Amino acid sequence: PSPAPTPKPTPAPTRTPTPSPTPTPTPTPTPPPAPADYQWSELSYDLTGDGSEPEMRLYESSWVWQRGGVSIGGEQYAHGVTVHGRSSVTIDLNRQCAAYKALVGVDDMNLGLGRFSFSVYADGVRLWQSPVVKAGDAAVPVQVNLAGRETVRLVVEPRGTVDNLLLADWAESKFSCR
């Protein structure tokens, strides 16, 4: 018998690569909320709010009159908050806020009476204080940086013997937040 022919080597089959799984795309992060101004004259109290926007603390605040219009030094303003001459109002920001702005002064309904000083506190630290403001004076501008702050306390102090009974205004008062 003749020897069997030597088989010719056949090439090893090419291996089909296993495809790598397609990576799951990283979800697009939710963009931060658009900046918004919150007028103090429209804020809710903490009892009726939902904790998502600035809110006044009912039990840690003096009486407030949220008004559609106020008058200081003969000048009309579209909105504002009127308080008694001795007042303190605490506001929980409930979001990232950049600034607080207002125009403060003696309400013209006092008929020429009243002297006050105004202060803005944030997280227990006084950030701003006005000079003494008298009836008939032009409104004093307030602008306070609130970056990183959680609470704001707006304070009015009387500077005369009967001034705690009179009215003080925070006109065009607003919080700029995200």
DSSP state of 119: E
DSSP, res 73:
T
Strand, coil or helix: 127: strand
Q: Write down the pTM of the prediction.
A: 0.80
29 CB contacts (<8 Å, ≥6 apart)?
Answer: none
Contacts of 59 (CB under 8 A, 6+ apart): none
How far is residue 93's CA from residue 128's CA, in Å, rounded to a whole number?
Answer: 18
pLDDT per residue, tens digit, the chain (178 aa), is: 677 777 676 666 677 777 777 777 788 887 766 779 999 999 999 988 899 999 999 999 999 999 999 999 999 999 999 999 999 999 999 999 999 999 999 999 999 999 999 999 999 999 999 999 999 999 999 999 999 999 999 999 999 989 999 999 999 999 999 9
Q: Tell me: domain 36-177, CATH 2.60.120.1060, correct?
A: yes
Domain ranges of the chain: 36-177
